[in-house]
Amino acid sequence: MVYTKIPLSKIRLIYKFFFMASYSLFCDPAFGQTLRTDCVTGNNVGTIGGSCSAIFGGVPSGSPTNVNNADLSVILMGDTNVINTFSGLANGMYNHIGNGCGNTAAGYFVNIFNGQGNTAKGCFVEVGNGCLNSVDQLGGVDSCYVAVGNGYANAACGSFTTVVNGCSNCASGSFLFMGAGYFNCIDSNAGIISTASIVGGHGNIICDSGSNSFIGGGGDNLIIDSTSSIVGGENNKVCTACAFIGGGETNFILPNASRSVIGGGAQNTIDGFPGGPASDSFIGGGRSNLMCIGTTCAVITGGYCNLMPVANSMSFIGGGACNSLGTALGHAINYGVIGGGCNNIVCGSSDAAVIFGGAGNLLFGCGAFIGGGVGNVINTTVPLPTGLNYSTIVGGYQNQISNTATLSFIGGGSLNIVESSDSFIGTGGSNQIISGDLSSIVNGDTNRIANGSNYTFIGGGNLNHIGNPAAPTYADATYGIIGTGSHNCIDTGFGISSALNIIGNGSYNTICAGSNCSGIVTGDTNILSGNHSILGGGLNNGIGNIGAPSPGADFSFLGGGSANCIDTGGAPGATTYGTIGGGESNTIHAGTNHSSIFGGSNNQVSGNCSAILGGINNNDGGYPYTGIFGVGVTGLPLAAGNGGFFVNELVIQNIPVITALTYSSLQAGELYTDTPPGLGYKMSRVYIK
């Protein structure tokens, strides 16, 4: 057997034919107005109380059950169907019940096509089929142009409203649409809601103020304000105007959060109540994300338990878990960003601040940036008086830039600290710039810049420091440099400042307080105290009065070796222009100027402008202008208390022996002696004219 689908328009033409036929036939006075017999059996099938009306069929036996009290109305067939008077004032007219049982129609141009227990009252209203569906008055006003298509216990009232199908759905208002589902409701007792739609689902509600709103499907979704939408999901709520929830579960857009969007996810909330609006904001998905009062034009893309607690404008959280842009302290944030990660916090007053990722990072300052890592902090002061910082931590573990440091940088590593402005730590561990603006530590471990030592630099190594944090009085060591090594120090003890000093490498090398423009190139346990002096390397060498705040050895040079010393030692004064080339345990004593020891061991100079070229255990005897080369040589005074040049042995041949009478015959610069050879002298005195 072949079945052909008959369009609804043709069905309506068939019913129109029966309706017009009944009018032509039964309104003719020759026939009267009481025809109500079964067209087949001729049995009485109902009661007619209206004019020009008809009942075509019904129960073939028993008491009549259909009632038609309206004018120009038709009951085609069925049982216990009623076309009643309209609003108790008039019979109504042009009504129609096609079939079914227990259906009731009243009004003008009312149609019930089929079903059971359906009710349709008003003007131009209809029920297509189903059971216990109804079209009735709204707030005492008759419904117009309202339809229920099918289903069970659906209700529609108002004007230009439709319920297509489903169970226990209701639509009350103007220009409303209910597609299907069950226990859905577009409800307005006052009749003020208009142009709203629920396509399907269950338990979905659009309330009185929900004009121009839409629920696509899902379950237990709620809209209580206008021009809003929920596409699907379950237990989602929109309590503000012009808002949108795409789907998910238990997502809320609460009052004062107009023009906001939640795409999906679960337990996400945009809340503008009670303190101020949270409008024009977006949560894409995720779970338990929250935007609170004062948050406008902000975005949380997804993640878990991310928070914008107060007054965030144009801010962004990409994802992650338990991240927060702002705190409950009430300080606003504009243009803040958290890319992702876990437990990251950008605190209040931190405009244009960014945490890109990582975990447990904390940022409090405008224009600041943390790239990632764990437990990194920019600014520990809450609340910050000015909110200014503009600093950067790229990554690492528990690195910190304090509230006193603006425009500073930590690249990575762990436990690094910057408390000075415009300063830099590249990486490493436990490095600190405590007080030194425009200073840098590139790498290493436990390196430190302190005591206001501005414009300083440590390249790497460990336990190097510029500025003595344990000094009894404060002073700075500006423009200092330590390249690398271990336990090297440019010290500011005794309250005396230092500047422009450098230690290249090595270990336990120290440039003391009050030294300027000096350097230690390398070596171990070398100490320098003086201005414009250089110590090249070696072990346990020293320049200057070590460990005291007295003047150092200025303009001095010590090349290397071990235990060599150019030492001021207090009185009689500073040592200047001293030179020790190398060797071991050589000393230029305090107050000695322009003197040198070029090498050897245990040589000592205490006279000005004296020199020991080399050897062992030589001593100039404190006489100026003395030269020594040998072993165990001690200088002696000559004319005017000045020394000469002393050696252990000196062989000079063909030197004339000159007496007072022959002295005048010598040319200037010639050598001579007054001690004839072969007289038993071990050493002759040699002179230069």
CB atoms within 10 A of CB 212: 18
Say how far apart CA 34 and CA 51 lie, in whole Å: 9
pLDDT on residue 662: 67
User: Could you give the C-alpha distances from 438 to 49, 55, 276, 326, 484, in angstroms and in order?
Assistant: 103, 102, 43, 30, 19
How is residue 563 written in tokens? 């235990």
3-class SS string, 50-80: CCCCEECCCCCCCCCCEEECCECCEECCCEC
* Cα–Cα distance for residue pair 293/328, rounded to 1 Å: 11
Within a 10 A sphere around the Cβ of 203, how many other Cβ atoms? 17
Q: What pLDDT score does 36 carry?
A: 45
Residue 647: its pLDDT value, please?
Answer: 83
The pLDDT score that the predictor gives to residue 19 is 47
Residue identified by tokens 């000196």 is 650
pLDDT at 680: 44
The percent of the chain in helix, strand and coil, each rounded to the nearest 5, is 5, 35, 65
Q: Does domain 518-648 have CATH number 1.10.287?
A: no
Run of H or E residues at 631 = strand 627-631
Integer Cα distance of 163 and 179 in angstroms: 6
Distance CA 58, CA 341 (A): 74
Q: What is the DSSP string of 441-468?
A: E-S-BS-EE-TT-TT-EE-S-BS-EES-
pLDDT score of 89: 55
Two domains, one topology: 130-235 and 518-648: yes
Give pLDDT, residue 209. Answer: 84
| Eight-class DSSP state of 79 | B
List, in order, residues 6 or more apart from 485 with CB less than 8 Å away: 461, 464, 503, 504, 505, 506, 507, 509, 522
Q: Is residue 492 within 8 Å of 468, Cβ to Cβ?
A: yes
pLDDT of residue 423: 94
Instruction: Give the per-residue pLDDT at 61.
Output: 63
Distance in angstroms (rounded) separating the CA atoms of residues 170 and 161: 10
What confidence score (pLDDT) does residue 469 get? 63
For residue 451, the model assigns a pLDDT of 82
CA distance 606 to 584: 17
In 282-384, beta strands by DSSP E: 282-283, 290-291, 299-300, 307-308, 312-313, 316-317, 324-325, 333-334, 337-338, 345-346, 354-355, 362-363, 369-370, 377-378
Rounded Cα distance, 333 and 457, in Å: 35
Please name the amino acid found at residue 366. C
According to DSSP, residue 23 is labeled H
- Report the CATH fold assignment for 130-235: Alkaline Protease, subunit P, domain 1 (2.150.10)
CA 311 to chain centre: 16
- Say how far residue 605 (Cα) sits from the centre of its chain: 66
- How do beta strands 565-566 and 542-543 pair? parallel
Q: Where are the domains of the chain?
A: 1-117, 130-235, 518-648, 649-689
Contact 531, 513 (CB under 8 A): no
Q: What is the mean pLDDT of each run of 10 residues along the chain (689 residues)?
A: 50 48 44 42 70 81 79 90 76 89 93 95 94 90 93 94 95 92 83 85 91 94 94 95 95 92 95 76 95 88 91 89 80 87 88 93 91 90 60 95 90 95 95 91 94 91 85 74 95 79 95 91 94 95 73 88 84 80 94 93 94 94 90 80 74 66 68 60 56
Q: Any idea what the Cα angle at residue 397 is, between residues 392 and 401, rounded to 5°? A: 35
Q: Rounded to 5 degrees, what are φ and ψ at 253?
A: -115, 110
List the beta bridge partners of residue 120.
105, 135
Q: How far apart (Å, rounded) are the C-alpha atoms in residues 689 and 666?
A: 7
Q: Which residues pair with 437 in a beta bridge?
A: none
Tokens representing 382 are: 């809450």
Those residues with Cβ within 8 angstroms of residue 10's Cβ, 6 or more apart along the chain or in another chain = none
For 427, the token pair is 């990486």
Query: Cα dist. 416→388, 391, 442 in Å?
Result: 21, 14, 11
DSSP lists the bridge partners of residue 317 as 300, 338
Give the CA radius of gyration of the chain.
53
Q: Using alpha carbons, list the distances in angstroms from residue 119 to 12, 122, 126, 337.
A: 19, 10, 9, 58
